[in-house]
Amino acid sequence: MTNYNSKFFLAITLFGICILNSNVNKPKKKKIKEIEYLFAHGFGGNKENLKYYCDCNFIPKPHQGLAFNGPEVTPGNKYPTLSKTAMAQERDVEVLTNALKNITKPVVGIGVSKGASTWINAAAQPENINKIHALVLESPFFDATDVLHKFFFLNYVPGGHYMTSKLTQGFLGYYKPTGPQPIQSIKKITNKKLPILLIHSQEDSIVGVDHSRKLYESLLQEGFVHVHLLETKTGAHANLPFKLQVQKAVNAFYKRYNLHHDPLLTANTHIYNFQTVE
């Protein structure tokens, strides 16, 4: 009887040690970060555009995201008010900063065109950078004057940049050609570990893909270590979220940085520093 008890006790002890070792050696699953998603619309858009980005999986469930109207948006008016247009400069940054102040969680900033560039300028502000956890930027511009310069076809005219400056001062009320531009703001962003995903179409005829390429190169030169550039071979300006390959890349980006994501979209999908999709 004593011998039986000894064997039984030994078996129980060994079983307990095995369970303990299995728990010790088992890798701990990272806890998904609690995050809020804040959307910044482009010129001609408004905060209602958020629904489209939710439907296209840029904002993973169960999140619904938050959004705000830029200063050029007037309720009930279909078109932007040019006299209140800032093109990602101080007034746009101020409105975005006020939206950030009302959010207690870390924020993933999502922006398109003007909204994307506003996020870059806003991240350069010391009061904002600690609140921004990651950025997903679709069709950003590195310099609004460069976009307007080509929009008016003044890139073919001698002295065209000077003419562009005068034109924009005349009808874009809050825009200053000498004001902050994203390509300059990159140098002022202090968190070099900030995850950033740039998305741009090679067919973009309004803000050329060279804008995201230049931002990508500048971010790397300034020492940012989590920067990704996704180019699509086709697609119009600010109209890429519907593409399945873009949705997969965005969610792979979220997964890599331990954020909520759609597991169906991340299956066999990876996010690379630079990649091109259809």
Confidence bin at 33 (pLDDT 50/70/90): confident
Mean confidence (pLDDT) of the chain: 89
Query: pLDDT tens-digit profile of 239-249?
Result: 999 999 999 99
From the list 226, 227, 237, the residue with the least C-alpha distance to 200 is: 237
Contact criterion met (CB below 8 Å) for 116 and 140: yes
Of the two residues 171 and 254, the one the predictor is more confident about is 254
Q: Which residue has the tokens 């969610």?
A: 251
Lowest mean pLDDT among 61-75, 109-123, 159-173, 176-190: 159-173
30-57 mean pLDDT: 93
Both tokens of residue 206? 């309004």
Range in 20-34, 100-114, 120-134 the model is least confident about: 20-34
Give the span between the Cα atoms of 124 and 31, in whole angstroms: 29
Say whether pLDDT at 95 is over 60: yes
What confidence score (pLDDT) does residue 27 get?
47
Q: What is the pLDDT of residues 101-127, one digit of tens each?
A: 999 999 999 999 999 999 999 999 999
pLDDT in tens, 203-231: 999 999 999 999 999 999 999 999 999 99
Is 31 a residue whose pLDDT tops 50?
Answer: yes
Superfamily (CATH H level) for 35-277? Alpha/Beta hydrolase fold, catalytic domain (3.40.50.1820)
CA distance 31 to 258: 8
State the pLDDT at residue 5. Answer: 58
Beta strand spans in 181-252 (E): 196-201, 227-232
Q: Which two tokens stand for residue 148?
A: 């307007």
% of residues, the chain, pLDDT over 70: 82
Question: Which of 51-60, 113-122, 139-148, 199-208 bottoms out in mean pLDDT, i.e. has the lowest?
Answer: 139-148
Question: What is this structure's pTM?
Answer: 0.87
DSSP state of 89: S
Token pair, residue 103, equals 């959010």
**Where in the chain are the domains?**
35-277
